[in-house]
């Protein structure tokens, strides 16, 4: 960044940086600094009875407030766990005649945002604040860019947070520093993932990895990102799903496999869609979608309790109960319940006319399955606030799903709706290779009609099925939407560290 683009504060900080160097103070010293204690641990554990254990502590963090009292500074630093106050006295950190460390570094050349470390003893001030009384002071990293100003009350609670999404999502590193609740969301995200992993591992499931670069973008109806492999001189696709690879492992003899899969879909962006996202998929041999519903209920109950201590979770203005069992209704009955129209016997033209009647715009190339999907999405999906399994989809909507054992024209599939959005999608998996080939061929016809989300034929997957795949049930759960739900966040960008955004115009 050129000097003319720097703010006054940025120029002043660079002058301070140069002065530090001239004084022989390294503004970016070697990284090893032996931190012994963290803010919240000190505040939770320090008492009169335990004070001997805190007579020699080393803490480090980013300066969030600076308050001068002449030869004394009160400094609050933020570390990995929270904020703690430091008491920095001139005569304590400069016990001899030379007071230059305090006069130059502490009084003049440190700023909000700098990283410092101190050693000292813990005490409680007359106002009742747990504080580290410093006897050494070390600059660990000079901050050249001021953080946005955040207003806090006397207890340090934020009451005027920085909320501009353009700033928050683009400069997440600064957002995490100045908005404490943001960090809590991501800590909960990790806890959600770990809870799921524990749940599956306890039941004998095996975590695996499958390819991100794929020759065929299979396993879902979506538009892929395309790239090129130079050595092989062939196109590759970033995966839109990992389903077909996990099923290959079921063919290979594993009974229960799962993967937290980073997927990529070259589609629109909104409050619930990001082109790069995380999905959990698992596949279990000798099970069906009825079994999968029961296991899914148990998992969601456990997640709610792990994050909130109860099965009742506040999401927006709603209290959502994750207490099993969840409601179940077929997709066709759902459309009828919400529109009064029975679409179960309609052909493609009748479905298109119904969409027109309900003022739902649909693309000309959509087949019967996509038209029913549009009808459900526009008339019914948003009505399911409490967890609800939408079941028994038309075969045209589900090219990888086993035909229903009792209901002609339908498949054994469910989607879990919560708070008006799909959170999970599951099947009794299609394991008939002849039927699967025919379904893929139907997808090719849809692609030829202009459906750019129709599936490709994966000939290797068909070959795997021909070796034989046992009866299997599988599920995909959108981790980002799940985290949104369990942390009460309104946008997918709030649960991704670095959501995709347009490049900045002023890269400098």
Is 60 exceeded by the pLDDT of residue 159? no
Polymer length of the chain: 508
Q: Give CA separation, 59 vs 80, 120, 390, in Å.
A: 11, 9, 53
Q: Which residues contact 383 (CB under 8 A, 6 or more apart)?
A: 338, 420
Is 70 exceeded by the pLDDT of residue 2? no
- Identify the pLDDT of residue 164: 87
Q: Is the dihedral of CA 427, 431, 435, 440 positive or negative?
A: positive
- The DSSP letter of residue 469 is -
Give kind and range of the element (H or E) at residue 494. Answer: none
Q: What is the pLDDT of residues 22-49, one digit of tens each?
A: 999 999 999 999 999 999 999 999 999 9
Q: Report residue 437's pLDDT band, with 50, 70 and 90 as the boundaries.
A: very high
Q: What is the pLDDT of residues 57-97, one digit of tens each?
A: 999 999 999 999 889 999 999 999 999 999 999 999 998 88
The Cα angle at residue 480 between residues 478 and 486, in degrees rounded to 5: 100
The Cα angle at residue 492 between residues 491 and 497, in degrees rounded to 5: 120
- 176-180, 234-238, 288-292: the lowest-pLDDT one: 176-180
Rounded Cα–Cα distance for residues 265 and 223 (Å): 6
Is 60 exceeded by the pLDDT of residue 339? yes
Span 306-333, average pLDDT? 97
Query: Counting Cβ atoms within 10 Å, is residue 354 exposed (0-12), middle (13-18) or buried (19+)?
Result: buried
Rounded Cα–Cα distance for residues 387 and 416 (Å): 7
For the chain, list the domains and their CATH numbers: 3-147 (2.40.50.140), 182-326+386-495 (3.30.930.10)
Q: What is the pLDDT of residues 93-126, one digit of tens each?
A: 998 888 888 999 999 999 999 999 999 999 999 9
**Do residues 253 and 296 make contact, with C-beta atoms less than 8 angstroms apart?**
no
Q: Report residue 180's pLDDT band, with 50, 70 and 90 as the boundaries.
A: confident
Q: What is the pLDDT of residues 372-422, one digit of tens each?
A: 999 999 999 999 999 999 999 988 888 889 999 999 889 999 999 999 999
- Determine what percent of the chain is predicted with pLDDT higher than 90: 80
Span 498-503, average pLDDT? 91
Is 60 exceeded by the pLDDT of residue 429? yes
Annotated binding site for Mg(2+): 415, 422
pTM of the model: 0.89
Is 90 exceeded by the pLDDT of residue 355? yes
Q: Report residue 283's pLDDT band, with 50, 70 and 90 as the boundaries.
A: very high
State both tokens at 410. Answer: 């339908």
Q: Phi-psi category of 219—alpha, beta or left, where left has phi over 0 and alpha has psi -120 to 50? A: left
Rounded Cα–Cα distance for residues 262 and 479 (Å): 10
Q: Report residue 446's pLDDT band, with 50, 70 and 90 as the boundaries.
A: confident
Q: What is the rounded average pLDDT for all residues in the chain?
A: 93
Is 90 exceeded by the pLDDT of residue 504? no
Annotated binding site: 415, 422
- Identify the pLDDT of residue 34: 96
Where helices occur in 252-308 by DSSP H, the ranges are 289-308
Rounded Cα–Cα distance for residues 480 and 273 (Å): 9
Q: Report residue 127's pLDDT band, with 50, 70 and 90 as the boundaries.
A: very high
Rounded Cα–Cα distance for residues 44 and 253 (Å): 51
């Amino acid at each position: 960044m050129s000097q003319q683009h720097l703010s006054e504060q940025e120029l002043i900080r660079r002058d301070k940086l140069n002065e530090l160097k001239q004084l022989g103070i390294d503004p970016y010293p070697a990284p090893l600094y032996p931190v012994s204690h963290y803010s919240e641990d000190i505040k939770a554990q320090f008492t009169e009875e335990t004070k001997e254990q805190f007579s020699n502590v080393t803490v480090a963090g980013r300066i969030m407030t600076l308050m001068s009292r002449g030869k004394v500074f009160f400094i609050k630093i933020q570390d990995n766990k929270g904020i703690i106050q430091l008491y920095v006295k001139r005569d304590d950190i400069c016990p001899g005649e030379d007071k230059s460390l305090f006069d130059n570094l502490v009084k003049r050349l440190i700023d909000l945002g700098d990283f410092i470390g101190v050693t000292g003893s813990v005490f409680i001030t007359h106002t009742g604040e747990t504080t580290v009384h410093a006897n050494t002071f070390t600059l660990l990293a000079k901050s050249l860019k001021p953080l946005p100003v955040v207003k806090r009350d006397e207890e340090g609670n934020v009451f005027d947070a920085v909320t501009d999404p353009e700033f928050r999502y683009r400069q997440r590193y600064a957002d995490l520093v100045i908005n404490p609740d943001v960090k809590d969301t991501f800590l909960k995200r990790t806890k959600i993932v770990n809870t799921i992993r524990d749940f599956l591992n306890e039941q004998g499931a095996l975590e695996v990895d499958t390819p991100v670069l794929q020759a065929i973008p299979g396993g879902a109806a979506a538009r892929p990102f395309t790239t090129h492999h130079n050595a092989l001189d062939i196109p590759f696709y970033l995966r839109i799903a990992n389903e077909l690879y996990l099923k290959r492992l079921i063919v290979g003899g594993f009974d229960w496999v799962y993967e937290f899969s980073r997927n990529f879909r070259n589609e629109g962006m909104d409050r619930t869609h990001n082109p790069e996202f995380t999905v959990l998929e698992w596949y279990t041999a000798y099970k069906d979608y009825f079994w999968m519903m029961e296991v899914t209920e148990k998992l969601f109950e456990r997640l709610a309790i792990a994050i909130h201590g109860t099965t009742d979770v506040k999401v927006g203005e709603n209290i959502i109960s994750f207490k099993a069992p969840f409601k179940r209704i077929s997709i066709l009955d759902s459309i009828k319940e919400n529109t009064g129209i029975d679409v179960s016997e309609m052909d493609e033209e009748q479905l298109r006319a119904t969409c027109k009647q309900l003022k739902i715009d649909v693309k000309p190339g959509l087949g019967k399955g996509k038209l029913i999907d549009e009808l459900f999405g526009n008339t019914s999906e948003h009505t399911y606030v409490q967890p609800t399994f939408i079941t028994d989809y038309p075969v045209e909507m589900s090219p990888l799903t086993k035909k229903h054992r009792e209901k002609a024209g339908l498949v054994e599939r469910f989607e879990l709706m919560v708070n008006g959005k799909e959170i999970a999608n599951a099947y009794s998996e299609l394991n008939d290779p002849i039927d699967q080939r025919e379904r893929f061929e139907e997808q090719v016809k849809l692609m030829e009609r202009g459906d750019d989300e129709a599936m490709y034929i994966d000939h290797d997957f068909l070959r795997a099925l021909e070796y034989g795949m046992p009866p299997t049930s599988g599920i995909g759960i959108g981790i980002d939407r799940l985290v949104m739900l369990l942390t009460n966040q309104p946008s997918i960008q709030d649960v991704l560290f670095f959501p995709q955004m347009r490049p900045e115009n002023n890269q400098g």
